[in-house]
Structure 1
Amino acid sequence: MTRPPPPGHPVTASVLITDPQGRLLVVRPAKPDAPWALPGGAVELGESPLDAARREVREELGLILDVQTHDLFAVEWLQATRPDRRDRLAFIFAGPQLIPADHDRITLQYEEIDAWRWEPPTSALQILHPRIAARIVGPLQYPRPTTYLETRTQERTL
């Protein structure tokens, strides 16, 4: 018998990092056949999405970034796709622009990430997971509005 998942929403946080040419930093998770992603991951119990975004970048890339609350880029609510899953929230923060000297400071955590690279936005959107790519709308630099999305798998009556 399948149990319903516990209440609450799992939360993830990612960081959109660019370079002076406007390319995006993408990472390849160390899982077979995993699509490229943005640096980030799950928000831990008692941790804010902003703190999780900073921690994940520090763990995955070895970088300490000055990401702030006003750097919120997008939030998406995703409806569960199966009865054993929960709806979830995904946050993306816009990180600072990295300069070439910052590249030498990147140190991968190979248990989680096995590669990183710069991609122009159009090709990055092609190799990122489609749900992640869908969150990256509008200008990547200031000024830009924050985007809020909802992904529904079926209509719910309220």
Structure 2
Amino acid sequence: MDRPLVCVGALVRDGNGRVLLARTTKWRGLWGVPGGKVDWGESLLDAVARELREETGLVLRDIEYAQTQEAVLSPEFHKPSHMLLFDYFARTDRTEVTPNEEIEEWAWVTLEEAAAYPLNTYTQTLVALAQRREP
């Protein structure tokens, strides 16, 4: 029997306050944040740190829970899927991205610039949340 996939992702800020966006093979040309599936026996925090390291080469710090979303058969995703998305905010000290095969393009942008990108709807809510938290 199929079950929902537990996934993590992070909106990562650099030392200048910019955030990392990525366009991957899985969201039909839309932009989002790096992330992926949680492994059996792995905590959500360990998973988000691992996924970001695997996909971008970045080491995260100050990882903070942001929100949980549910993606049920989203037409934006490349195949039928039911995902529970645990989103985080995090920081990194480096901005040099070493992309894996899933990332087609990436950009460090301000939150305002991020909102103008063609983001998947789940990343739109994460960026909006980050904007509301800004002083």
Q: Would you say 1:74 and 2:70 are equivalent positions?
A: no
Aligned-residue CA RMSD (Å): 3.1
Q: Of the two, which has the highest radius of gyration?
A: 1
Q: Would you say 1:103 and 2:95 are equivalent positions?
A: yes
The aligned amino acid for 1:52 is A
Q: Please, which moves more after superposition, 117-126 or 8-17? A: 117-126
Q: Would you say 1:54 and 2:54 are equivalent positions?
A: no
| Offset at residue 134 of structure 1 (A) | 1.7
- How many pairs align? 131
The aligned amino acid for 1:123 is E
**Runs of at least 4 residues off by over 6 Å:** 141-144
Of 72, 75, 91, the match for 2:86: 91
Residues in 2 aligned to 1:65 and 1:103: alpha-carbon distance in whole angstroms: 11
Of 7, 10, 22, the match for 1:15: 10
For the 8 Å contact 1:14–1:92, the answer to whether it is kept is yes
TM value normalised by structure 2 = 0.75
For the 8 Å contact 2:114–2:127, the answer to whether it is kept is no
| Offset at residue 120 of structure 1 (A) | 2.0
Per-residue CA deviations over 1:48-104 (Å, capped at 9, x if unaligned) read 222221111110111222354xx101111344469xx564311111111x45xx124
| Offset at residue 21 of structure 1 (A) | 3.9
Give the unaligned 5+ runs of structure 2. none
For the 8 Å contact 1:75–1:92, the answer to whether it is kept is yes
Match of 2:30 in 1: 35
Q: Would you say 1:133 and 2:118 are equivalent positions?
A: no
Which structure is higher in strand share?
2
For the 8 Å contact 2:13–2:19, the answer to whether it is kept is yes
Give the unaligned 5+ runs of structure 1. 1-5, 145-158
Aligned sequence identity (%): 28
Shift in CA distance, 30/78, structure 1 to aligned 2, threshold 3 Å: closer
TM value normalised by structure 1 = 0.66
Per-residue CA deviations over 1:13-55 (Å, capped at 9, x if unaligned) read 0011113443211112146952111011122233222222111
Residues in 1 aligned to 2:43 and 2:109: alpha-carbon distance in whole angstroms: 28
Shift in CA distance, 81/51, structure 1 to aligned 2, threshold 3 Å: same
